[in-house]
Structure 1
């Protein structure tokens, strides 16, 4: 009997992505709506396609679902090709569930019949699956009711049960929570995610709301002009933005413009390091309002400069508003009259015209080539 060589490594047990799209492209009237998009979603993972309206998110979902054909690119489920420009598995055989903003429940069918609509098998088996799902979404008491008798949140849960009924391997969700009242939205989202993860379903969620993506996603794919410009865990996408627009998409952003000389950019807040940037290059220094530190004016003097916070800059209050969880204060810099926004996690409402000093944590700033320059 032959023995296994001692230096032979065991074969790796590599699980393929539940969903993988490679280099998808779709144009309308010569304009690229989806431009070379690639993405992988593992079983039980929630990935958010996040971006402004018109950036290609929904078109990407429709191509995966099979209701829109790509111009080029490939789509795989569990490592098997389901669609390219030659081969195409019909939408009904892709084992992909769909949820949209419009719940699209059939008004003339009962809750039970709505949930059972896509099921196959005996009447008893279908009834058992319907009851199982309605128990999970806490709607069994409405099994013989009709959609018009339900609230918006209840209709959304019926739509979820209907989408889950055939046990799809992938769930595509196109802003399904945007029509719900704000008070219901968080609870419904959390319940929906818990059920999908229990089913080990790969979820691709489209949204234009950064807060929703941060709350729901294991991974965010940030889209702009038909391309995925950045992808990763929510923390990484938020704290390591690829450009100024990525910072601004997640929150308000302050910006300073400066010119680099000797790898340093001079600003009212002191010098910022710009290693590797050629002299004469214009850069944008971007930072979020929560990272602007406020200090009081002491007879025309501010705090002592430090390596961490840099040089203080004097400003006067333009406006202050209490936002519920925080206060938003707008300042006008003495240096050039530009407006800086600061948020404070408390009630802080200084009077208009009050002089104060501002500093910025250096490790909370992002330096990018100026959008107006090279």
Structure 2
């Protein structure tokens, strides 16, 4: 029996947008199912917000097609007006009407009779714990409360798709996590497909069912948060999620020689310069024992001597910077809790082989290789 794949709620096919001859959005394709949260993640200026505007219908693509529930809503000839696309919008600027009450803000744009609209407004304000403010005004609310009113207003018409452009960046850290979780819960209950734009990796990892990593107008990697984090497509993808350490080496006989021993580089031609990339939390620290360190192991490789340059406590972890005796380079390590060795102390470092990535030096590789 053949299992049919459900039709995507949102289906973007090869959309492109050029501004002054430059491809701001370059051949972007994306599918989002009902009830799914996808984060469009990338640095400022990479084309994330432009992509959202094209989906919303406030900006036209130069090529490509956009479908909702299998029906074409926009190509370069045909175009459904923005107000008929059943797409909700949430932005960093809550854009509440200051002269309207909370109830009138939430009910703005709702169709139906007065009693029906009032019932929907009361339902949503109750779900975001703001029913007591139903007859109040935006200026009487805190930033977090205004954000929840904006959420209720966006969801009120029951949009099939919700587009969110960094809607939580204006909130302080204490409010942000709670309101993000509350927002996602409500959107999933409504079975809404969500496309969230953010430049914060932690937000994407926390919220998304799927991450689309964008750079220079293109989606360079797409998948579940765990897969995007643990199988990065290139060095820049690793670095976008965390600090990185980089070791340079030259390949000889499919092996790259470093201070930590040899790394496998299968399929890489001899003489190719490569970079071994790994995160600070995967650098293991050991004590110096009369000039000797730990024994080499298949999982951690060969230990290398290093001298402590600086150590800082960051709250939940400690960051230690080491100068390598091998070549004078600086490597960073993070460890849980408090660990603050004094400057100048000699220690030994090893790196988990299965947490390292080998990429051609100075180039965005098509895929990272994890040494065995």
Q: 1:62 — aligned with what?
A: 53
SS for the counterpart of 1:242 is coil
Do structure 1's residue 192 and structure 2's residue 183 form an aligned pair?
yes
Q: 2:89 — aligned with what?
A: 98
Deviation track 1:304-325 (CA, whole Å, cap 9, x = no partner) reads: 1111111111000011000111
**Residues 273 and 361 of structure 2 are in contact (CA less than 8 Å); yes or no, is this contact kept in structure 1?**
yes
Deviation track 1:193-226 (CA, whole Å, cap 9, x = no partner) reads: 0000000000000000000000000000000000
Question: How far apart are the structure 1 equivalents of 2:297 and 2:173?
Answer: 43
**Residues 282 and 373 of structure 1 are in contact (CA less than 8 Å); yes or no, is this contact kept in structure 2?**
no
SS for the counterpart of 1:265 is strand
**Residues 285 and 367 of structure 1 are in contact (CA less than 8 Å); yes or no, is this contact kept in structure 2?**
yes
Where does structure 1 differ by over 3 angstroms across 4 or more consecutive aligned residues? none
Which of 128, 134, 152 aligns to 1:137? It is 128
Q: 2:164 — aligned with what?
A: 173
**Residues 236 and 364 of structure 2 are in contact (CA less than 8 Å); yes or no, is this contact kept in structure 1?**
no
Deviation track 1:292-343 (CA, whole Å, cap 9, x = no partner) reads: 0000011111111111111111000011000111000000000111000000
Q: 2:26 — aligned with what?
A: 35
Q: 1:362 — aligned with what?
A: 353
Question: How far apart are the structure 2 equivalents of 1:105 and 1:318?
Answer: 51
Deviation track 1:165-191 (CA, whole Å, cap 9, x = no partner) reads: 100000000000000010000000000
Q: 1:297 — aligned with what?
A: 288
Question: How far apart are the structure 2 equivalents of 1:272 and 1:367?
Answer: 8
Q: 2:369 — aligned with what?
A: none
Cα deviation, residue 121, structure 1: 1.1
Which of 249, 265, 270 aligns to 1:274? It is 265
Question: How far apart are the structure 2 equivalents of 1:67 and 1:195?
Answer: 26
Q: 1:288 — aligned with what?
A: 279
**Residues 234 and 364 of structure 2 are in contact (CA less than 8 Å); yes or no, is this contact kept in structure 1?**
no
Query: How many equivalent residue pairs?
Result: 365
Deviation track 1:246-291 (CA, whole Å, cap 9, x = no partner) reads: 0000000000010000000000000000011000000010000000
SS for the counterpart of 1:342 is strand
Cα deviation, residue 118, structure 1: 1.2
Question: How far apart are the structure 1 equivalents of 2:290 and 2:327?
Answer: 21
Deviation track 1:63-97 (CA, whole Å, cap 9, x = no partner) reads: 00000000000000000000000000000000000
- Give the alignment of 1:152-301 within 5 angstroms: 152-301=143-292
Question: How far apart are the structure 1 equivalents of 2:354 and 2:4?
Answer: 40
SS for the counterpart of 2:119 is helix
Cα deviation, residue 14, structure 1: 3.5
Question: How far apart are the structure 2 equivalents of 1:273 and 1:69?
Answer: 47
SS for the counterpart of 2:237 is helix
**Residues 249 and 256 of structure 2 are in contact (CA less than 8 Å); yes or no, is this contact kept in structure 1?**
yes
Structure 2 unpaired stretches of 5+: 366-372
Question: How far apart are the structure 2 equivalents of 1:33 and 1:372?
Answer: 21
- Give the alignment of 1:318-357 within 5 angstroms: 318-357=309-348
Q: 2:6 — aligned with what?
A: 15
Cα deviation, residue 27, structure 1: 0.7
Cα deviation, residue 373, structure 1: 10
Cα deviation, residue 372, structure 1: 6.1
> What is the RMSD computed on CA atoms of the aligned residues?
1.1
SS for the counterpart of 1:211 is helix
Cα deviation, residue 38, structure 1: 0.1
Question: How far apart are the structure 2 equivalents of 1:219 and 1:30?
Answer: 31
Cα deviation, residue 13, structure 1: 4.1
